[in-house]
Chains A and B, each alone.
Chain A
Amino acid sequence: MTDVLATLSRDRIFYLFVAPFAALTILFGVWPILLSMQVSFTASATALRPNPTYVGLANYAAVLADPIFLASLARTLLYTVLSVVANLAFALGFAILLDSRLLKRGSLFFRLAIFLPVITPDVAGYVVWRWLYDRSFGALNAFLTLLGLPPFGGLSSVDTAMLAILIAELWHHAGFYMIIFLANLSIRDRALEEAAHLDGATTWQRWRYVILPQLRPALVINTVYALIQFLKTFTVVVVMTKGGPNDQTNFVSYYAYQLFDQARYGEATAMATILFAIVIGLSLTAYRLGDREPGQ
């Protein structure tokens, strides 16, 4: 106890400066999460009353027995895996292209072109994508028809809806991941590549064994961030599909939102808590795996 007080006294200036931000984090970050968790243990009809009825884990049991939730969770995980892989592969590919000497001249233009969607308001961007996909007046199908190709089902077909929103999200997010990769590429040690070149390594070998290991910080950050982003996919669904067609894009966040609409607050917050736990668990796992030294 004396030691703790001594430490506090010694670092009091530090704690004084940190205190306001810690208070804000607790007030606006931690407190709402705790309140949401509290609601998940209450009966929906009384959830928002001053003295709610607590029902223990009943909402969690109901949610985990709900086949629609389980299907939604499986769909969310599938979409997350596909989106993380697609976004990171696309961003890394573009970062490599923009980093190469071949694209030295147009580099700034292409960087801007790919980053621009990131700063575009997401709702506006997704509305335009919805129009592009529209099967009655959309530009995409008009173009395909012009080429004599079959129409793309887009958002209205159960077979293509997930792919369609994945493409729209790729357009919106990939630029952000690309910038992180580019920053990492720009600070890599080029002497190692020259040494490998002198030792007779092929281009592929140089990429695989010299450059890629140096990109690990960017890969870890991008993977963790993308996991968090796509597990919580919501806005694109609200704007483009509203969970349809036939639940094909009904991800967990949107399903929980639908339950809010039916005043099923207990189950909705139980879903949100489960998703929160999954996001934390997967992100920490990805971070731990990526942060390990090779061979560990």
Chain B
Amino acid sequence: MLAKRIIPCLDVKDGQTVKGTNFLQLRQAGDPVELGKIYSSQGADELVFLDITASHEGRKTFTDMVQKVAAEIDIPFTVGGGISELADVERMLSAGADKISINSAALRRPELIDEIVSHFGSQVCVVAIDAQQDEKGTWTCYLNGGRIPTERGLFEWAKEVNDRGAGEILFTSMNHDGVKQGFACDALSQLASFLTIPVIASGGAGRMEDFRDVFAQGHADAALAASVFHFGQISIPELKEYLRKEKINIRI
């Protein structure tokens, strides 16, 4: 049986990892390659590196980092941030990334998903969706790291992403992100009920129980978190032991 995956996410700016709380404040947390190696040896199932640099020089630094990760780390990894055309995908895959994740670029031009899938296969294409739920309960997708609301609803956009052939959806609930009160299990469970591709849950990890719930109740295929791992609030070996005791199928 396929194991549920635990994925630490590293936000990278100018070659250093950072983590935002509610997408705004940033705190320093170390060298991404070293951090990635530690997570891999602790039993992380995959890694995600997000480039949050805007400058051209920053992009070059990020590509160099991707090459280093590919050379030194022996588990799969996804890279995202600033990927807006096929040439960016090609550059990241040639640097050694296993998968790429796109977000705003897909919302602006959904055909990009089809292009990536036909050139490189569905397994490399992760579509990240940042969405926020309003007080009426409606989920809306956001652009540019959660700064700009769109007209698209979470569920209809997720369905389109699925049908265009993406390999996975990385769903971040902006309501839950940085709050550490658990993942958006209701929305996740609803996504799992109609999608035919795996969903990576992101936003809200605070306690080990949150991971159990996101798998058992949210039916997520993978759970992504950043600060709880970076600041040592949860250790991956402990988390995996705990999940196995809770009867979640996990790789140890």
Binding between chains A and B? no
Question: Which residues of A come within 8 Å of B, CB atoms?
Answer: none
- Show the binding face of B for A, using Cβ within 8 Å: none
